[in-house]
Amino acid sequence: MTATLWHTHVRAAPDTVQQWWVLTTRLIVPSVKSGEVLMSVVAPVAFAASFYIPLNTVMMFSGNGFSSYAQYMMPLVVLQSAAFTAISAAFRSASDAVAGLNRRFGSMPLRPLVPVAARMSANILRALIALAGAVVAGYVIGFRFRLDAWHTLGFLAFSLVIGIVFTLGADVIGTASKSPEATSQLLVLPPLILGMLSTGLAPASQFPSWIQWFVRNQPVSQYAIALRALAGDTAGNAGTVSWSLMGPPLLWAAGTLLLCVPLAIRLSSRRA
């Protein structure tokens, strides 16, 4: 009896959701065990204390039109916390690129966008933790949500959108770089410079006239203006949520996403 052997080529059918979950837990579990997630809570507290304690008396004396300085500067605490999360995101994506994990993923039956989706899932979790830490720290120093529940949800949702924008941009930069350490050090400067030259700590009118246009229109200032309007204030100077007020910050966020999403797709596809 002659047995005939039939050779068939069976292609692997990857379970995308399971792949995403495995790669996401690969990033989350070690960060919890190492205490890295704890830094997402500590950082907002440090930002709130470092801004509020030395500047509260001075800024309320010079005037900003708000009922308290905590109410005025709270958006910058949220933004700096998101930027801190973004720096960690850049270091993580750069480490994967340098270690050759992207090339290894390219040789596996793994859909191109699964690794970046997993990294972004871990980044969003850290952004949520940082946002919660920022709100708690803000409440300790006197910040309050002064409007209805919809405005409060809008504040939290837009803060999360900003965190996604920051971390996605940082992930793209990290993936394209060849040095995790240099990337992290380089990304420290933009949040610091833009934070100091913004309306996050003081109104634009308190800056020299030649730079007020930049201070007023750069993205950090526009994000801060939107978050103040969503939080509200008893003094009535936080602004009213409208398309004219929310348009510029939404355009900054949308423009950044339109730039970063294609780059993330391109970098993820190149690994194969």
Cα angle, residue 173 at apex, residues 48 and 27 outer, rounded to 5°:
70
**Model pLDDT for residues 28-40, shown as the tens digit of each residue:** 888 887 777 888 8
Q: Tens of pLDDT along 201-254?
A: 999 989 999 999 999 999 999 999 999 999 999 888 888 999 999 999 999 999
* CA pair distance 267, 235, nearest whole angstrom: 48
Q: What is the rounded distance in angstroms from the CA atom of residue 96 to the CA atom of residue 106?
A: 13
Q: Which long-range contacts (CB under 8 A, 24 or more apart) does 15-23 make?
A: 16/111, 16/114, 19/110, 19/111, 19/114, 20/114, 20/117, 20/118, 20/121, 23/114, 23/115, 23/118, 23/119
pTM equals: 0.88
Cα distance between the two ends of the chain: 46
* Interatomic CA distance for residues 28 and 125, integer angstroms: 9
Q: Average pLDDT of the chain? A: 87
Whether residue 269 has pLDDT greater than 50: yes
Question: For 126-158, how does the pLDDT look when each residue is reduced to its tens digit (9 = 90+)?
Answer: 999 999 999 999 999 999 999 999 999 999 999
pLDDT value, residue 37: 81
What are 201-211's pLDDT values in tens digits? 999 989 999 99
Confidence of residue 108 (pLDDT cuts 50, 70, 90): low
- Pick from 191, 186, 30, 20: which is nearest to 115 by CA? 20
**Which residue is associated with the tokens 């309007």?**
229
Give dist(CA 40, CA 128) in Å, integer.
9
Q: Hey, what are 213's tokens?
A: 């246009």
In the predicted structure, residue 6 carries a pLDDT above the cut 50? no
Residue 96 φ/ψ, nearest 5 degrees: -65, -40
